[in-house]
Amino acid sequence: MSQNDDARQITVTVRAPRALEPKEFTWAKTIKVGEAAKEAAEAFGYADGTPTFQNGEDILDRKKPLEAERVEDGDVLDLVDAGGGV
Amino acid sequence: MSSTWSMRAVGCEECGPMIPRDLTLGLVEHEELEPARQWARRAGVELTWRPETLELLAVFTQRASGQRFYLLGNLEGYKAVPPAWDFCDEWWGASGAKSNYPSQAAIEGVGSIFHSKPVICAPFNRLAYQAYGGPHADWGGPEQWLKAAPGSARADTLADMLALIARDMNYSRGRMG
């Protein structure tokens, strides 16, 4: 992999409420939060829902790229559902 | 402690028999309790499990105000029906009082599960269903909770439910009433 490829990607650790162990993922910085969260959710066994990430205290916008939501290499993200109340 | 709570959370002749207590106990203690405890430690939530009454007690500290909120989950019948989640006072009483509930959360683009009424409006709360005195007659019975209200807040393990409640708590300011 070239240096340019590395620079365009970030590796983060994702924690899911239902899981005892986190998982590591590598994504392009430009991937949408929702797409990345969906991939992570599926890896943790979630079959349903509207997953997004929480970075620290902030709920990330699913429509924006990871880099726009200031996700950086090495961050620890928490998986959370973004569905609304009814 | 929980006579009023018991009537609100459990009494529903229309809903049919609950599943055996031991089944709920086994599921909670062997599968879902440890992830919930681990999540709670990360989130700064105090979590207590009372196996004798099948109750899960969670104390949240609201980020904006520093106030403490006392959430009691009655898990009788879980997982055939969702838990009955209710915010109580600090003595774990006063079920269904607005003053025990956080105000509506303000998360951009996300509808809050906290409304103007003292009930968590999500399919994973038994008290949101009309059969248990809640506002939702449109979700079917609580036994359909895993498929109710597509597109709404989804959580089908205790840890996921607590995380969703914490999500809105963190964007809530003050109390409902």
pLDDT per residue over B123-133, tens digit each? 999 999 999 98
Least confident of B44-58, B84-98, B107-121: B107-121
Average pLDDT for residues B3-20, to the nearest whole number? 51
Q: Which chain B residues have a beta carbon less than 8 Å from that of A56?
A: none
Determine the Cα–Cα distance for residues B67 and B124; give it in Å rounded to an integer: 25
Distance of CA A74 to the CA centre of its chain: 12
Percent of chain B at pLDDT exceeding 70:
90
Taking CA atoms, A74 is separated from A10, B8, B47, in Å, by: 7, 46, 29
CB-CB neighbours of B88 under 10 Å: 22
Of A35-39, A53-57, B141-145, give the range with the top mean pLDDT. Answer: A35-39
Taking CB atoms and an 8 Å cutoff, what residues of chain B touch A50?
Answer: 151, 154
Paired with A13 in beta bridges are A24, A76
All residues of chain B having their beta carbon less than 8 Å from the beta carbon of residue A59 are 107, 110, 167, 171
List the single best residue of A18, A23, A62 to mutate versus B (max B Cβ within 10 A).
A18
Q: How far is CA B8 from CA A5, A55, B12, B94, in A?
A: 58, 37, 9, 11
| ipTM of model | 0.90
Question: What per-residue confidence (pLDDT) applies to B130?
Answer: 93
Q: Which residue has the tokens 């520093």?
A: B66
Least-confidence region, from A68-72, B8-12, B22-26, B58-62: B8-12
What is the model's pLDDT at position B6?
38
User: How near does any CA of chain A get to the CA of B67, in Å?
Assistant: 17
- Residues of chain B contacting residue A83, judged by C-beta atoms under 8 Å apart: 110, 151-154
Element (H, E) at B74: strand B68-74
Element (H, E) at A25: strand A23-28
Inter-chain contact B168–A48, Cβ cutoff 8 Å? Answer: no
Backbone angles phi, psi at B16, to 5 degrees: 85, 180
Please state whether B105 falls in left (phi above 0), alpha (psi between -120 and 50) or beta.
Answer: beta
pLDDT above 90 covers a percentage of chain B that reads: 70
At B94, the pLDDT band (50, 70, 90 cuts) reads confident
* Packing angle of the helix pair B33-43, B158-169 (nearest 10 deg): 20
CA distance B28 to B83: 11
Residue A8 near residue A30, CB atoms below 8 Å = yes
At residue A83 the predicted structure's pLDDT band, cuts being 50, 70 and 90, is confident
Region A27-42: mean pLDDT is 97
